[in-house]
Amino acid sequence: MAKFRNFSRRLFIISNIVAVTLFLLACTNSFLHPGRWWLISLLGLVFPLLLLIVLTFFVTGLFFPSCRRWSLLSLVALLLGWSNIHSFLAFHPGKGFRPEKPPHALRILTWNVRSFDEYITKKKGASGHKPLMMEFIRQQDADVVCLQEFHTARKPKSQDDNLSYIKDQLHYPYYYFSRDYSRYDGGYDGGVIIYSRYPIMDSLILRYVRQDKMSSQESLIAADMLVGKDTVRIYTTHLQSVLFRSKDFHDIEIIKNVDDSILMASRSIAKKLSYAFRLRGNQAEQVRAELDKSPYPAAICGDFNDVPNSYTYFTIRGGWNDAFISKGFGIGRTYVHISPTLRIDYILADQRLPILQCRKFPLPYSDHNPVIADLQLP
């Protein structure tokens, strides 16, 4: 029995040290550029699991006197990783989200609409999601609507003229559209778009450099809006995607199920992840540089394609406030595939636009969930 206790104690200590080391390495992901440290970025993807393991070691060690002092190691790691934990978990239960917009507030809606789910099935429009998505946007009564993976037909007033439909039927008379790419023989344009009920006085666009034909991102755009006597700048963007296809999701299932071909599947996934990490790291630095130039109170929203403890998130966020962390509760998952912990869509605001409330809406239409926040106007 004594030998078993000694073995258990040693196993606890060694496992605890390994878990704490991996956890702290995952925390360094927030300030190490993924272009040079992409393995650390991969480790950052399992941060929620490592956090749970370290918490388990901390709590378990408290119940065993021989391991109690080693549980302090887990506690120290949790304290050192607090900034990462706080960016991952929001701690504001019970406040809820009031549909009525507070006085003197600016309501922002951001959503990666995945082309309104029109081209996911073999038959165009078979999903029937577009009318439901348009109705959802109408019901939220947002002042500003930022959409990623937006597409519209060039032919005015056609069934697929989504640009005019939102402008005229949902009553957003002002917009700025990046037109990053065209499809179907130039009959359609796609990109990110900002709709506003306030006049847009000026705009800007930053087109990311495409590294090769595999690059998949949409521009950073901004619109300066005249709100009363004040000017507010709103940015939106869609950073480099991982470019997962059906085969890649199948490979993830292979990894989960420990299939015989796990090695080849892992190589394929890791290669795409490392490529996307590197590009997003560079794009995040460009975004931060643009945000620092804003002469007006500003907010940025969009699909960053990266998790809250990533270099991308921390670089773009800087000293700004994360709407979900400020007013939400829980993990706030916005991407519906792969893992229940993926929050990759954000609304961030500088200190001049305090956050009043925020909510993520779990909807079954796109592969992303929309996020809405109310910001206090100057």
Spell out the residues 6+ positions from residue 12 whose beta carbon is closer than 8 angstroms to its own.
57, 60, 61, 64, 67, 70
Band (171; pLDDT cuts 50, 70, 90): very high
Whether 178 and 229 map to the same domain: the answer is yes
Structure confidence by residue, pLDDT tens digits, 270-313: 677 778 888 999 999 999 999 999 999 999 999 999 999 999 99
Residue 153 sits in a domain whose CATH number is 3.60.10.10
Whether 261 and 345 map to the same domain: the answer is yes
Which residue(s) pair with 148 in the sheet?
A: 112
Whether 64 and 161 map to the same domain: the answer is no
pLDDT for 149 beyond 90: yes
Whether 154 and 197 map to the same domain: the answer is yes
Which of these ranges, 217-231, 262-276, 346-360, 362-376, has the smallest mean pLDDT?
262-276
Average pLDDT of span 331-340: 90
pLDDT for 31 beyond 50: yes
Nearest 5°: the CA angle 245, 251, 252 is 95
Whether 170 and 254 map to the same domain: the answer is yes
- pTM of the complete model: 0.90
Whether 130 and 59 map to the same domain: the answer is no
Whether 225 and 179 map to the same domain: the answer is yes
Which residue(s) pair with 330 in the sheet?
A: 90
Whether 11 and 158 map to the same domain: the answer is no
End of a domain among 88, 121, 156? 88
Q: Hey, how many other C-beta atoms are within 10 angstroms of the C-beta on 4?
A: 8
3 state SS of 241: coil
Structural domain boundaries enclosing 314: 105-376
Whether 112 and 254 map to the same domain: the answer is yes
Cα distances from 127 to residues 136, 191, 306, in angstroms, run 16, 21, 27
Band (152; pLDDT cuts 50, 70, 90): very high
Which class for 147: exposed (0-12), middle (13-18), buried (19 or more C-beta within 10 A)?
A: buried
Domain count, the chain: 2
End of a domain among 28, 54, 88? 88
Whether 59 and 126 map to the same domain: the answer is no
More confident: 187 or 136: 136
Q: Hey, how many other C-beta atoms are within 10 angstroms of the C-beta on 327?
A: 20
Whether 83 and 145 map to the same domain: the answer is no
